Amino acid sequence: MTGPPPGAWDVLSLLPDLPGEALHARVARSLRSTVLRGVLAEGSRLPGHRRLAGQLGVSRNTLVDALAQLEAEGYVQVRGRSGTVVSVPGAPAPAGTATGPLPLSAWAERALDGRVADAAGEFRVDFRVGQPVAELYPEAAWTQALARRAGQIGQQPTALLDPLGPLETRRALAAYLNAERSARVTPEMVMLTAGTQSALDALARVFLEAGRVAAVEDPTYAGARAALAATGAALSPVRVDDQGLQPGDLPDSATLVYTTPGCQYPTTVALPAARRQALVAWAQQVNALILEDDYAADLHHSARPPAVLQGLAPERVILLGTFSKVLAPVTRSGFLVAPPEVIRVLAGTRPLTDRGPGTLDALALADVLSSGAYARHLRRVRPLIRHRQEVLIAALAGQSLGEQWPSWPARVAASGLHVYLPLPQGLSEADLEHRAARQGVALTLLGPFTGGDHPPAALLGFAHLPPEDLREGVRRLGRALRN
C-alpha cells in the first residue's frame, strides 16, 4: 500500500457545485475526478475521515456518504481500521489532447445549412410572422380536457401506447376532417405527430435520399425545404404565381412534391380547381406523392374553409395538419393523413425515433374536437383574425408613402396570419428592412423563402398585434419610406 505522492492531498478540494446537486454527491464527484485524473494512484490511502472532512469543509457524515457512494461504484475500498484505499488506476489525460470539431454527419451539416437566421432586436411594432396569437389559445376547453384526461392516464398506459397515437384521437380527427374539410379519411389513415415539422422529417427520411428529387414550391416554407434537402435529395423548384404553384414546372423525376394549396406559403393564394386537377394528374402519371401542408386550415377567415386536396386523391396525397397555431406552439400537436401502405411504413419506422406522440395531449385533443369545443372556438376567433387583417389592409391603403412610391399593393389573403406585400418598384427588401428597423419596426422578408430570383416582397404578420399596434406600425413604415 503506497501513500499519496507528496502534496497530493493538498489538491483535494470541492469542484464548483452543479444545480440541484446534494453536498455528498458533490464531494463524491470531486474525489472521483481526482482519482480519474491520476492524482491519486491505485492503492493510495486516503487521510482519516476527520482530516479529509475538515480539508473539504464538510461534515464527517457527508464525507461518509460520499465514500459509501464511491465504494459502491468501485473507486475506493473501505478497509476498516486500515482506512480507505483507491481501488482503480487513474488515467491521466495525455497532455495537449486535441478537441477537434464534432464528427457531424452529412445530414447534420445539411440540416444546419438550411436554417434561417432571424434578426435580433427590440422593436416597437414587430410584424414578423410565426408569432403566437394569444387569443387563438382555447384556454378553458384545453385546460378542462387536460385535467380530465390526466386523471385517467395511469390506468391503461400500455393500451394507449400506439406509434400512430390513440385510436380515439384518430377517430375524432378523421370525423373532423371529413366534416369540415371534405377530406376522405378513416382513423387507420391518421398518424399523430409532434407538429408538421416532425411529419416532414419522418416522411423525408422514409422517401428521400441522395439521387432522388423533391419538387418544392418556390417560394415556400423554409422548414420544409430544409427538412427535405437535409436528406441529400435534390430540390426542384416549382414557380408560384398569383394562382399558386405552376403545374408546368413539376418535374417527371420527382418522388414527391411539397405544396400548400389551401393558402400558399408565404404568398397566401389558394390553388384553383384546374391547377389542383393538373397537380393530381401529374402525380398519378409520374407515380409521385403529394405532401399537402394544410397549416392554415383552421385559420381561414371565413366559416367555410375550402376542401383539402386529399379528398380528390386519397391514394396519392399525404395531408399534413398542425395545431401549432390554434392550440399554441408548445403543445406540439399535429397529424398526418396518408394512404394505409404509407401509414404502415411510418408505424414501423417511428419507434426508432420517438415511439409515439404525447398521449395526454392526444387524448385531450380528442375531447376538444369531439365535444365541438374546437369548432366553437374557431367560430369565435375567426372574426378577430379577419378584423385585424382588415385593419392592416385599410391602414396600408390609407398610408401616404411620399412621392417616390405611390401605394402598397398588399394582397388580401382569405386565410392565414400574415399579409403578403409585394414591394413597390425600386424598393429592395434590404432597403425596406433597414428603413423599417430605424423606425422601430420589424417585418419578415420574402428572400429566405425562395431558392432563386424573385420580385421583392415582405410579409406582415398581423394576427398577434392589436389594432392600435397595426396602425402605429403602418404609420412608422410610411415614415420609413418618406424619410
Ligand X SMILES: Cc1ncc(COP(=O)(O)O)c(C=O)c1O
Is there binding between residue 265 and ligand X (CB under 6 A)?
A: yes
- Nearer to ligand X by Cβ, of 63 and 257: the residue is 257
Is there binding between residue 195 and ligand X (CB under 6 A)?
A: yes
Residues numbered 289-308 forming contacts with ligand X, rule: CB under 6 A? 293, 295
What angle in degrees, to the nearest 10, is found between the helix axes of 139-150 and 373-398? 150
- What is the CB neighbour count within 10 angstroms for residue 293? 27
**Cβ–Cβ under 8 Å, residues 216 and 255:** no
Q: Per-residue x/- mask for ligand X, residues 317 to 356, rule CB under 6 A?
A: -----x-x----x----x----------------------
Is there binding between residue 444 and ligand X (CB under 6 A)?
A: no
Nearest to 306 by CA among 271, 262, 265: 262
- Nearer to ligand X by Cβ, of 255 and 259: the residue is 259
Smallest gap from residue 119 Cβ to ligand X (A): 17
- Cell reading at 410: 398588399
- Nearer to ligand X by Cβ, of 39 and 419: the residue is 419
Question: For residue 233, how many C-alpha atoms fall within 13 Å in the half-sphere facing its CB?
Answer: 28
Smallest gap from residue 333 Cβ to ligand X (A): 8
Is there binding between residue 197 and ligand X (CB under 6 A)?
A: yes
Q: Which stretch binds ligand X (CB under 6 A): 194-202, 390-398, 420-428, 445-453?
A: 194-202
Q: How far apart are CA 195 and CA 216, in angstroms?
A: 19
Smallest gap from residue 238 Cβ to ligand X (A): 15
Cis status, amide bond into 219, omega within 30 of 0: yes
Strands 444-445 and 334-337: unpaired
Q: Count of residues for the chain?
A: 483
- The residue sitting closest to ligand X, measured at its beta carbon, is 195
What SS3 state is found at 243? Answer: coil
Q: Which of 127, 137, 176, 221 binds ligand X (CB under 6 A)?
A: 221
- Please name the amino acid found at residue 437: A
Smallest gap from residue 307 Cβ to ligand X (A): 18
- Please name the amino acid found at residue 159: A
Residues numbered 362-421 forming contacts with ligand X, rule: CB under 6 A? none
Q: Which of 114, 130, 422, 467 binds ligand X (CB under 6 A)?
A: 130
Q: How far apart are CA 4 and CA 35, in angstroms?
A: 11
Q: Which stretch binds ligand X (CB under 6 A): 68-76, 170-178, 195-203, 283-291?
A: 195-203
Nearest to 215 by CA among 183, 263, 248, 262: 248
Q: Rule CB under 6 A: which residues touch ligand X? A: 130, 195-197, 221, 223, 260, 265, 293, 295, 322, 324, 329, 334
